[in-house]
Amino acid sequence: MTRAALRCTALLLVACGGVATPAPTPTPATMPGPAPLQRVGDAASRNGECVACHDEIAAQWQDSLHRAAYTSPDFQSALRSEPLPFCRGCHAPEADPRRPEPELAALGVACVSCHLPQGDAVLSARPADAPRAAPHPVLRDPAFAAADACANCHEFTFPDRRPVPEYMQTTVREHRASTQPDRSCADCHMPRVATNDGAAVRSHAFSASRDLAWMREAFTVTAQRPAPDRVELSLDLHEDRVGHAFPTGDLLRRLVVSVAVTGVARRTAPQRRYLARHWKHARPGKGPGVRTLDHDDRLGVGEDPRVLTFTLDPADAALPVEWRVRYERVEAFVGPGEDGARVVGGLDLFEGTLPSE
């Protein structure tokens, strides 16, 4: 009898000897999300323990936007114009959304927010064959390796009551509709990096919008002048690198595509186009008001390259043209159109000059 057959017999004996009960279906683990969380113990000291043992991952997290989700000047400034418990729920999930305790709020999206959404066992996406066992209970769920780990925070609707709910962020459905639905968010956003002891561990830096090199790899731009008074910019998203629209996430992010004729005698005013979710106010004039989506022309995954055409005054046909593609983080609009915007940050992604024809 082979070893495998022996094992089978042993298993059979156990099964026959006992009462036949179906294998228990594992209860799916609670995935991380906004407050209120079912927290066991004190979040700050629990988080301090994770940080103390996992020092390399902790250093990446310390510099991340997850860590700064509540304390960052950008969030604090936005919160002042909309001071809602709703906002604190995601940006400070460890604190009471109504009366946030400063120490707990300052944790932002912490180790415990993602890894201890419920109960006392640390949520892990790894299979049980880890080379080194953890000195703490571990709850394994493959869903934590999928978009589920991010979905409760990275996709949500406006908090106001409206007949048909509308989304403030749609990264998860964009991901599902993309050509990369089988690659998890972590696959791109948590690349494996080498640690001091030689292991390759998922990065917790989560850098995206502040990382010029990373943002520039998302697409390429080619510029041409098919006629003396016409400029064409073609933006080609790299589908294998982006798993959702560009920009995704916060509702007021945008790409600004601009062209300007250079030279003293120019007749054409500089021109700008915005690739973004374009919002309109359902009840204009009433405070920050209710925003509804007018149209969405962000770069989508799976689309042909986007071609933008700009027409120049024929008198400028002989002049060189400077073009630029910039990514902007807008905090608020300060006029009727989209030109008047309070821009709190951004990156110059691509620029160039087209010689005269």
Q: Which of residues 165-184 bind ligand HEC (CB under 6 A)?
A: 171-172, 175, 180, 183-184
Binding piece for ligand HEC, criterion CB under 6 A, among 3-11, 22-30, 196-204, 310-318 = 196-204
Instruction: By CB under 6 A, name the one of 13, 36, 49, 270 that touches ligand HEC.
Output: 49
Cβ atoms within 10 Å, residue 308? 19
Q: What is the rounded CA–CA span in Å between residue 207 and residue 191?
A: 11
Residue 199 amino acid letter: A
Q: How far is the CB of 281 from ligand HEC (least distance, A)?
A: 15
Measured from the CB atom, the residue of 156 and 350 that comes closer to ligand HEC is 156
Q: Count interface residues toward ligand HEC (CB under 6 A).
A: 86
Q: What is the rounded CA–CA span in Å between residue 101 and residue 103?
A: 6
Measured from the CB atom, the residue of 64 and 271 that comes closer to ligand HEC is 64
Give the length of the chain.
357
Measured from the CB atom, the residue of 247 and 312 that comes closer to ligand HEC is 247
Measured from the CB atom, the residue of 114 and 221 that comes closer to ligand HEC is 114
C-beta of residue 216 within 8 angstroms of C-beta of residue 350: yes
Q: How far is the CB of 28 from ligand HEC (least distance, A)?
A: 15
Of 80, 58, 77, which Cα lies nearest the Cα of 67? 58
- Chain positions 268 to 307 lying near ligand HEC, rule: CB under 6 A, are none
Measured from the CB atom, the residue of 182 and 304 that comes closer to ligand HEC is 182
Binding piece for ligand HEC, criterion CB under 6 A, among 149-157, 224-232, 273-281, 332-340 = 149-157
Q: How far is the CB of 356 from ligand HEC (least distance, A)?
A: 33
Cβ atoms within 10 Å, residue 71? 15
Measured from the CB atom, the residue of 96 and 187 that comes closer to ligand HEC is 187
Measured from the CB atom, the residue of 310 and 350 that comes closer to ligand HEC is 350
- Give strand pairing partners of 306: 235
What are the backbone dihedrals phi and psi of residue 5, each rounded to the nearest 5 degrees, phi first?
-65, -40
Report whether the peptide linkage leading into residue 36 is cis, meaning its omega lies within 30 degrees of zero. yes
Cβ atoms within 10 Å, residue 255? 22
- The tokens describing 110, both together, are 């912490």
Q: What is the rounded CA–CA span in Å between residue 203 and residue 195?
A: 10
C-beta of residue 333 within 8 angstroms of C-beta of residue 280: no
Of 231, 323, 313, which Cα lies nearest the Cα of 266? 313
99-126 burial code (b ≥16 CB/10 A, e <16): ebeeebbbbbbbbbbbbbbeeebbbbbe
Instruction: By CB under 6 A, name the one of 56, 101, 187, 236 that touches ligand HEC.
Output: 187
- Chain positions 211 to 230 lying near ligand HEC, rule: CB under 6 A, are 215, 218
Q: Note whether 147 binds ligand HEC by CB under 6 A.
A: yes
Q: Note whether 114 binds ligand HEC by CB under 6 A.
A: yes
Instruction: By CB under 6 A, name the one of 190, 256, 308, 341 that touches ligand HEC.
Output: 190
Measured from the CB atom, the residue of 49 and 348 that comes closer to ligand HEC is 49
What are the backbone dihedrals phi and psi of residue 176, each rounded to the nearest 5 degrees, phi first?
-65, -35
Q: Note whether 29 binds ligand HEC by CB under 6 A.
A: no
Q: How far is the CB of 156 from ligand HEC (least distance, A)?
A: 4
Residue nearest to ligand HEC (CB): 249
- Binding mask 60-89 toward ligand HEC (x if CB under 6 A, else -) reads -x---xx--x--x-xx--xx--x-x-xx-x
- Chain positions 230 to 269 lying near ligand HEC, rule: CB under 6 A, are 241-244, 246-250, 253
- Beta strand 167-170 pairing with 155-157: antiparallel
